[in-house]
A and B are shown apart, each in its own frame.
Chain A
Amino acid sequence: MKTFGKIILTAAAAAVAATFVLTTTAAAEFPEKAINYIIAFKPGGESDVTARFQQPFFKKKFGKDLVMSYKDGGGGAVAWAQLNTITGDGYTIMGTNLPHMVIQPLQKDVGYTTDGIVNVYMFHYTPDAIVVTDKSPYKTLKDLIDFAKKNPGKVTFSGSAKGSSNHLAQVTFDRLAGIKTAYVAFAGTAPSSTALLGGQVVASWGYTTVPPAYPGTRMLAVAMEKRHPNFPDVPTFKELGFDMVSGAYRGIAVPKSTPEDIRKKLAKMIDEINHEPAFIKQMEDNGFAMLNAPYGPELDKFMAKAKKDITTSAKEAGMVK
């Protein structure tokens, strides 16, 4: 009997040890299989395109696929509300977007909270910019401001939906420049830029991604700290005396149950891609701006500031009370 018990004990110990060894090797070799990358919007949008840019680099570096799926709805809210119900084993990651994730929970109970989402990396942003057509009479930002001052309420800006980064930028800029303009919301950057090209509006609050994608457009100023490497001739708002740096920020989040070491591993992997010169070039050529905010204090600091800034401008824009 005693020996039998001993055998069981040894067997159990061996099993525990084996599992331990197995799990540690498994963790060491993460990822062992393809990773499911959920996009909270329709295919073909910027969230999708930037994820697609990451796809081949991920495969090359880590030998496994990123498999896209789309959970569109409620401006991203539907997917984010479900994120924390998914098993957190590192094999499901989800694209996240600011300012959406700050504004939506402030508006109503949308099934998630800003702080409840575990971001592991914020990897780029599309800075806000004032865009006009090549033929526009406004050559500089000053031209446009002068016209707007003489004609209050007459300048129309197309931009993506209300509560978007474009909209918040319009409200902030109106205050900083002391002008009053009309914001015409469209269902995304594509229809907004189409309206600009079609002459339906005077100018557009778009992103630095607009001129590369839509030939015939140019920017008057960009909301960045420094000029965009792809557009060295376009001044920043800061240079022109308007203190604003803003845009749509994109990152990657995991379910809350994802273990700490996996979160760090994912962050490190995305960080590696983010420092790949070919990736950076592709992103910047298409007008995106790089951002490196990996999991940990850097991301916490970034999120705290973003949350504060976005809440302030959303209140100003009347999006939240």
Chain B
Amino acid sequence: MQGIEYVLEAISLYHISIALAGVIAGTVIGALPGLTATMAIAVLVPLTFSLKPASALILMGAVYTGAIYGGAYSAILLKTPGTPSAIATTFDGYPMAKRGDGDLAVTLACTSSVFGGLVGALFLLLLAPPLAKIALAFGPVEYFWLAIFGLSLISALSEGHMLKGLIGGCFGMLLTTIGVAEVSADIRYTFGSHTLIGGIEPVSALIGLYCVPVMIDLVATPARHLQVSTEGRGFRLREALSLNWRHKFSLLRSSVIGTITGILPGAGGSIAGLVAYSEARRSSKRTEYFGTGEPEGVMASESANNATVGGGFIPTLVLGIPGTPPDAVILGALLVQGIRTGPNLFVGGETSIVYVFIAGLFVATVLMLPTGLLIGRYAYRFIISVPKAILVPTVAFMTIIGTYAIRNNMSDVVIMIVLGAIGWVLDRYGFKPSPIVLGLILSRIAEQGFVQGWIIGTARGNAAAEFFNRPISLGIIVFIGISMFYPLIARRWRLNKELQNDSET
């Protein structure tokens, strides 16, 4: 069989140990809020100079995939996404942990991540060259609508408190305007302060808004951090797998959404998780339970964000366009090694590198199952068994280190703490952190897409047509409509049904 030699090379003891080390390191790094996959890979780059290109790729791919999964731990156990990709995991993961199902949530995150990772890698293996075209089909206008789609999730997240959700979203959007604008280079809303020139870094804002209020509440209330059950329940792997099986279509859909979002260079793991979550929530029969600890929510977010790994490599390897920020670093490392990415990688002389790497990515993803379960168990035990007096300072210390490490900047730490305090106060008045975070992460994409689309549309003679006349845009607009008004429609249906039932009896 042709291709078997690539598989054999990937499962050599040497490559398996590289993949294993990478996955473990990645998982731990990803679990620490602030330490991201991008940074982990950047630190590794000099190390890869002494490796063969395929081995270097396997190592970086393993760290990457581990880090994306690791982000789930802090999302579930501390309500703080370890990486932006895990934002949607907090929605149901933390409520699950709160009620004592943290072990199940962590295991579920692991099995779903492995599944998503395998789907992404499968697409990379089989369909990379044709799928890479998706990366080019998305222009500024499509990104604008995609960001709006992400923002429309605010309506679902704040059912019953719509106005507060919208205000929170707007607050988040305003925060992103601070600093040097990435595209227009204007220096906005810095009020003469040098601290604010760098703007509000999304990950540090995320840590502040999610984690600081949790810390404050931990100190302010005598209750335990998480409910614990007394009997030992192991990994609850069987339970997790049967949940995966029950929601297999949702799992598959989320993984496909994740792969495609990964292919889009302007989107990334956070959007993948959010869109998959939104779709899982909409199509579920248990919509109203989402946000209160519904396992399917964790599955959707985690399978989608790990699918972005394989998806992101598609434009990276085929077109030389990095699908995600970590891919940009990997691309740079390949350049130093003298590897030129492009379509030839898949057909020409250097195919062996790509296929050994893809096989290696499969190996790393599979290895994530045992390592993820084990590390997850220790993380869970640590969080539930450590007394608060130790837990709070430890986590507080880690968030400060993590926030500093993002850009090696003390200002980010100050901003993180201030935002955390603001977030805590706002939370008391019913303004939840998630809409703020959505505004913060998505408005950058929306703003750039809008300005670019406007300029291009005006040059073509009709700015409005640019926004409303492109097929992909129209498709996204339809989804936005469904996502925004679905809660209303669903309620109307439910009322009607109840009325009918009443009249029948």
A contact residues vs B (CB 8 Å cutoff): 38, 42-45, 48-49, 52-53, 55-56, 65, 67-75, 77-78, 81, 103-104, 107-111, 153-156, 161-164, 182-187, 190-191, 193-195, 197-201, 212-215, 282, 286, 319
Contact = CB atoms under 8 A, between A and B. Distances in A.
Contacts, number: 177
A108 to B, nearest CB: 5
A71 B407 CA distance: 5
A220 B163 CA distance: 53
Interface residues of B, number: 62
A319 B185 contact: yes
A71 B192 CA distance: 20
Contacts of B328: 42-45, 190
Contacts of A81: 194, 197
A182 B455 contact: yes
B197 A213 contact: no
Q: 9 tightest A-B contacts by CB?
A: A73-B198, A44-B328, A198-B136, A43-B42, A163-B185, A74-B197, A200-B139, A78-B198, A182-B459
A68 B347 CA distance: 35
A114 B487 CA distance: 55
A197 B319 contact: yes
A48 B325 CA distance: 13
A115 B309 CA distance: 44
B350 to A, nearest CB: 13
Given A161-B184, A215-B320, A72 B407 contact: yes
Interface string B454-489: 011011110000000000000000000000000000
B402 interface: no
Given A53-B336, A110-B194, A201-B456, A74 B329 contact: no
Contacts of A49: 332, 335-336
A158 to B, nearest CB: 8
A68 B138 CA distance: 33
A215 B139 contact: no
Contacts of B343: 215
Contacts of B103: none
Nearest to B343: A215
11 contacts: A42-B38, A44-B322, A52-B45, A78-B407, A156-B456, A162-B184, A162-B185, A185-B451, A194-B135, A201-B456, A215-B343
A311 to B, nearest CB: 15
Interface of B: 38-39, 41-42, 45-46, 49, 135-140, 179-180, 182-187, 190, 192, 194, 197-199, 201, 265-266, 319-322, 325, 327-333, 335-336, 338, 340, 342-344, 407-409, 411, 448, 451-452, 455-456, 458-461
A223 B191 CA distance: 38
Q: Which of B49, B179, B182 counts the most chain A CB atoms within 10 A?
A: B182
Contact of B459 (A153, A186, A215): A153
Contacts of A44: 38, 42, 322, 325, 327-332
Nearest to B458: A182
A52 B336 contact: yes
A77 B321 contact: no
A70 B408 contact: yes
Nearest to A38: B408
Contacts of A319: 185
A193 B321 contact: yes
Contact of B320 (A73, A77, A213): A213
A282 to B, nearest CB: 7
B407 A187 contact: no
Nearest to B322: A190
A8 B321 CA distance: 69
B38 A43 contact: yes
Contacts of B184: 161-162, 185
A161 B325 contact: no
A108 B194 CA distance: 10
Given A187-B182, A215-B343, A68 B456 contact: no
B466 to A, nearest CB: 10
Given A48-B332, A184-B455, A187-B448, 19 more contacts: A42-B325, A53-B336, A55-B46, A65-B46, A67-B46, A70-B39, A75-B180, A108-B187, A154-B461, A161-B182, A182-B455, A182-B458, A183-B455, A184-B140, A194-B321, A195-B452, A198-B136, A200-B140, A215-B319
A257 B197 CA distance: 24
A191 B320 CA distance: 11
Given A52-B332, A69-B408, A107 B187 contact: yes
Given A44-B332, A78-B198, A81-B194, A73 B456 contact: no
B391 to A, nearest CB: 30
A257 to B, nearest CB: 20
Contacts of B182: 75, 161, 187
Given A52-B336, A195-B139, A161 B183 contact: yes
Contacts of B320: 213-215
B407 A186 contact: no
A186 B183 contact: yes
Nearest to B315: A194
A43 B329 contact: yes
A167 to B, nearest CB: 8
Contacts of B340: 212
Contact of A194 (B136, B180, B198, B325): B136
Contacts of A111: 194, 197
A74 to B, nearest CB: 4
Contacts of B49: 55-56
A156 B455 contact: yes
Contact of B319 (A43, A103, A214): A214
B396 to A, nearest CB: 24
B409 A71 contact: yes
A77 B137 contact: no
A53 B187 CA distance: 32
Contacts of B411: 78
A71 B408 contact: yes
A124 to B, nearest CB: 14
Contacts of B139: 195, 198, 200
B180 A77 contact: yes
Q: Which of B41, B327, B328, B460 counts the most chain A CB atoms within 10 A?
A: B328
Nearest to A214: B320
B360 to A, nearest CB: 21
